[in-house]
Structure 1
Amino acid sequence: MLTRRHIRVKVMQSLYSMKQTQSGNLDKEEKFLLFSIDQMYDLFLINLQLLVEIRKYEADFLSKSQKKYLATTEEKNPNTKFVNNELLMLLEKNEQLDTELENKKINCWQLDDEYVAILWKEIKESDLYKDYMHTKQSTFKEDKDFVIDIFKEIVAPNDKLYEYIEDKKLTWIDDLPLVNTSIIKMLRKIKPSYDESMVLPKLYKDIEDKKYARDIFRKTALNGEEYAKEIDGKTPNWDQDRIAELDKAIIKMAICEFVKFPSIPVKVTINEYLEIAKEYSTPKSSIFINGILDKISKEYQENGKLNKVGRGLM
């Protein structure tokens, strides 16, 4: 689920925060970094749970409508296609999802069920819902396509849900695009043969990614002053004090990857940090950073300081 780029972003944010608060407690800051990354998985679970709760809301609505004193024929015999959606039923019965939610004591949609109602109403009023409910029977593929479509077009871009998530945890806003993409990928992979023991995606792809998060954070923080000196002389028109702190963090992380991570190609490092700069820093930062990293990488290569192993890594 977690990509190396998002790990880099999280580390960059932590290094920037350390500089702003003048914190020197590396153990404490590393612990908070890993906690912040772990919180992404909570957001993933919450959004999956939201789909389940919307289905439950529809089921409860139909049940109450049937019990009306003057219920219409349609209310007495409703179209239960949405309620019986096979993909949503698989999510609701998923053992791992239930266990994770229980262990983490996540119950926000029980406490804040008005957001479930808001999304349910938007779905009911959408053309997607009307087209889907035009018939009473469906295939698994139709059920899956419908769930993916409503998540992409109604749930994920909902402004009120966005505000709610921002209020719950500010760092989740940066995590939301990755989490939503991960959910869509997971939904696309679900097959009708799956059952309640279906395995959810892991936060880290493997143990190496978690180690990378720790290492890039610690090695950059511990060698920060040395890397700052490398920037001197590469910016003839800029004093150190005029370089944005976020840009400094990005440059230092890239230098760290040049010399401390033998398996990461130089081009990958530069491209990754330029993309991060484009998204998180000033409009001109990526050009500025590219110039510095190009100079430093060429200088390191000439001086034999680039610590790279394997073909094509230079």
Structure 2
Amino acid sequence: MYKFNSTIFMPSVLTLIGIPGLESVQCWIGIPFCAVYIFALFGNSLLLVIIKSDPRLHEPMYLFLAMLGVTDIALSACILPKMLGIFWFRMPKIYFDACLFQMWLIHTLQCIESGILLAMALDRYVAICHPLRHATIFTHRLLTQIGVGVTLRATLLSAPCLILIKCRLKYYRTTVVSHSYCEHMAIVKLAAEDVQINKIYGLFVAFSILGFDIIFIILSYIQIFIAVFTLPQKEARLRAFNTCIAHICVFLEFYLLGFFSFFTHRFGFHIPPYVHILLSNLYLLVPPLLNPIVYGVKTKQIRDRVSKIFHSKDLS
């Protein structure tokens, strides 16, 4: 690390300050964050065990749910341990390359989750609008291809963010990151050089992936609602609609939190910094917590399996 004219050349270590303005109470903020982390790990792990152990749940809808659970576990694990280290153990230092890797991992996992949600919407569209063709379309081979394709798309589109920072930004005004994790714009704002291309590419990735996915999800559900309301029997309409409620809740939770955090972070100039940081944290931590709860409550097969597990423990 070298300093030139009050700038720092290629820093090797950065400092994450946590939540600016709330440093004195971060140890208390860490308690609910830790609880969210534990419940998210437990809920998603339980979901994976249930889906793996029950052959009746080896259907596309549940296998996509398993992919979502793995992504949520990875997303929580790459954020919370370091964040709790800042809050509780005064360990704000992080290697520059490790910070970039965390940033890339967060964006990649977010993009993967968005792609899985799109695949789940398409699965429900085929299951409700073309039920006789569902088994022949959504084969295990197609599920594997979707999983690989979603992962490659996220990996390749997120990689240039990392490369642009590493190769183009050499001089930094400070090494103190006003955030609780390595967020893309928080790192870019440290640079003393022109960062316009980094900002533009960040916006491009956000809108090309999330925007593309949400448009097709909305179109899928418009077709689903049209098909549901044209069913002749009321019971059939209710049954078809109930299979989509959990998916709709997860879609709304993920995208509403995401866009609200995105727009307040970039255009909410009069909002206190700690509000931005808390919203960003909630966007990354709430979906892994709520997803297994939503599917556990609204999906009968999973709900019955969970009750059977805990009922058998009570009997023993």
Structure exhibiting the larger radius of gyration computed from Cα positions? 1
**Structure with larger RCO (C-alpha < 8 A, sep 6+):** 2
Q: Same fold (TM over 0.5)?
A: no
Instruction: Write 1 or 2 for the structure with the bigger share of helix.
Output: 2
